Amino acid sequence: MSLRSSLIITGILTALAFPAGADTGLYGFNQENPYTYAEDILSIDVPPRHIVNYREQMRDNLISLSRYAKNKNKNFQIIVHGGQELLSKSLWERHLEGYNEAREKETNAEDPSFLTKLKQPASEADVASGYRDKAYTQNIDAIVLNNQFCRPQEISPIIRNENIKLISIDHCPNGKAFDKAVEDAVATDSLTYPFINKDEAFKHIVGQPVINENAKNIYNVQDAQNVSFLLNDSEYESKENFIDDIRRSNYDIVVINPLFHNREILTAEDIDRMKFKKNGTRRQIIALFNVSEIRNNPYLRKLGWKVGNPSWLKRISFVSNDSIITEYWNDAWKKIMGRNFEKIINSEYDGAFLTGIENHRYFEKQTPLE
């Protein structure tokens, strides 16, 4: 890396005193910038010699963040949004290994027939040798899925087998579906954040009914019986009002954006004030943190940073005009992400809600195997 690049990165780390890409846009509930026609019909005339395993790169980043956080605070909770396909080594990855091996040996990789032998299910030997990525599953405490109870979908058995807490964000079509989502979540020892009107989601906390309200101290996500995602603070005039509303609630877990109005840092003292429920018992305060997007703010634009410059800034976010998708395996991005994640830990949050995980799909779509 050049001296100029190092100075730029140092400057941005100092100036961006907030989490990389923290935003209220959530995949599955926002769609500001869908795939373009060109992206949908992408065709590669000359197959690349080697394709990055985007899933493994995402796993590696999340494992590194988790291990670093838990080394600092063994009770730090890691909650991931989506990414069920990262829980085990997938058929796509088996195909990728075959493709890369064939290209390196100068086999004709344009003919996908060489992948046929990989279409078999995993053998016992595969599992014993680490076919399932145990390191990843062992470094996450909970997984958030979209519409698991209002619009049921297939769920990986690994979630239950590895004792990963299931949390669902449910956009329900009506009150009947809302009630059933609550019943199903309680019956399966899962958590749900249900809502009917999407425009009202993620904005309020006081006045909303608390599912399974309790007076227990909550020190981890496994013990929690309810959750609130207060990610959009636009209706709060001041940080004090925002903090007071959280303090006047009895939610076991509250997930928040670490920046009030996307510009004012919530300090360790602010976080500590929110860690107790109205009934006086302990709760978990979790910070929103995007692992693959950087905020597209005036400071970036002042530096001349935009999509394509630096080269690892790849595309405007699918869910927000205020973020840019990064090559999350790039060392420059890792430095920015790591430094900002350290701020979350030092602010004494109880954990992090990691979003942007689904962006591995964008890169996979741009480099199809067949």
pLDDT in tens, 202-232: 999 987 889 999 999 999 999 999 999 999 9
Which letter, b or e, does each residue of 270-288 get, where b requires 16 or more Cβ atoms within 10 Å of its Cβ?
Answer: bbebbbebeeeeebbbbbb
DSSP class per residue in 166-229: EEEEEE-SSHHHHHHHHHHHHHTT-EEEEES-GGGTTS--TTSPPTT-------SGGG---EEE
Six token digits for residue 142: 């909970």
Q: What is the pTM of this model?
A: 0.84
Which letter, b or e, does each residue of 84-95 get, where b requires 16 or more Cβ atoms within 10 Å of its Cβ?
Answer: bbbbbbeeebbb
Quote the Cα angle for 279-281-285, to 5°.
110
Q: Under a CB-based contact definition with an 8 Å cutoff, are residues 355 and 26 in contact? A: yes
Q: Under a CB-based contact definition with an 8 Å cutoff, are residues 257 and 24 in contact? A: yes
- Residue 47 pLDDT: 54
pLDDT confidence bin for 133, thresholds 50/70/90: low
Q: Which residue has the higher pLDDT, 37 or 342?
A: 342
Could you report the per-residue pLDDT of 170-193, keeping only the tens digit for each? 999 999 999 999 999 999 999 999
State the Cα–Cα distance between residues 228 and 135, nearest whole angstrom. Answer: 28
For residue 356, which phi and psi values (nearest 5 degrees)?
80, 5
- Residue 152 pLDDT: 81
Could you report the per-residue pLDDT of 193-203, keeping only the tens digit for each? 999 998 889 99
Mean pLDDT of the chain: 83
pLDDT confidence bin for 42, thresholds 50/70/90: low
Q: Identify the H or E element spanning 160.
A: helix 157-161
The answer, yes or no, to whether residue 281 has pLDDT greater than 90, is yes
